Structure 1
Amino acid sequence: MPGGGFSKLPSGSVVVALGLPSPAGDGRTVRFLVHAGNRSRALTRLRNLGLRAVYLRGNTEPPTPDEITAVLHHPDGLLWRSTPQDAQELWHPIRALPMS
């Protein structure tokens, strides 16, 4: 299972980054970025979207500065992309995520 992590911002809020199997069940890995008041709230936002088995164990892959900037500048504060290792792929809003 791909890892995840978080970064606490000077404002006290956090950005959580998680790598999870694609909800579409196509075998891809999806990297999610969530901006929230705290880690628990960030995970709850993902669970409310139907990603039930979402847990953050450790801080092995925290969000990069570029990822933090991307999620902070998005009005929903919730982004994803299917190939985290491909820096050329753009971030997508959560409503564009294909769910099975």
Structure 2
Amino acid sequence: MAAGGFCRLPNGRVVVALNLPRPAADGTGCVRVLVHAQNRARALTRLRNLGLRAVYLRGNAAPPTPDEITAVLHHPDGLIWRTEPDSGVLAPEPVTELWRPIRSLLRRPTAQA
């Protein structure tokens, strides 16, 4: 379903990275989600408990980079995301978008009158 991977830290905990379709009304774009947890199963359970039910980690094709690991370790929730750059670009530009807490991704848009 989605590319992803994990990295085991020296203390035995893991950082899991997943590329997922954006859970929005238009369904366009992908997001990169990082989770810091005791093990891979608990990382996926954290996402499933937030409503991302069909999340699986198969293989280790896209493990988190050292910069991503640092970002998730310094976040108090240990669960962050940002939009994924287009994969069709030949020479991708460096990502300048900041990491955001998962609450902002899952927040329902409010109806405007």
TM-score interval (norm. to shorter):
over 0.9
2:101 corresponds to: 93
Q: CA deviation at 1:87?
A: 1.1
1: CA distance between counterparts of 2:21 and 2:47?
13
Q: CA deviation at 1:99?
A: 4.8
For 1:36-86, what per-residue CA distance to the aligned partner results, in whole angstroms no more than 9, with x for missing partners? 000000000000110000000000000000000000000000000012565
1: CA distance between counterparts of 2:61 and 2:24?
25
CA RMSD, 1 decimal: 1.5
2: CA distance between counterparts of 1:35 and 1:84?
22
1: CA distance between counterparts of 2:44 and 2:85?
19
Report matched runs for 1:1-100 at 5 Å. Answer: 1-25=1-25, 26-84=27-85, 87-99=95-107
CA gap of 1:37–1:97, structure 2 versus 1, over 3 A, is same
Q: Which has the higher contact order (CA 8 A, sep 6+)?
A: 1
Q: Is the 8 A contact 2:15 2:35 kept in 1?
A: yes
TM-score w.r.t. length of structure 1: 0.93
TM-score w.r.t. length of structure 2: 0.82
Q: CA deviation at 1:3?
A: 0.6
Gapped runs of 5+ residues in structure 1? none
Structure 1 counterpart SS, 2:44: helix
Which stretches of structure 1, 4 residues or longer, exceed 6 Å deviation after superposition? none
Gapped runs of 5+ residues in structure 2? 87-93, 109-113
CA gap of 1:89–1:33, structure 2 versus 1, over 3 A, is same
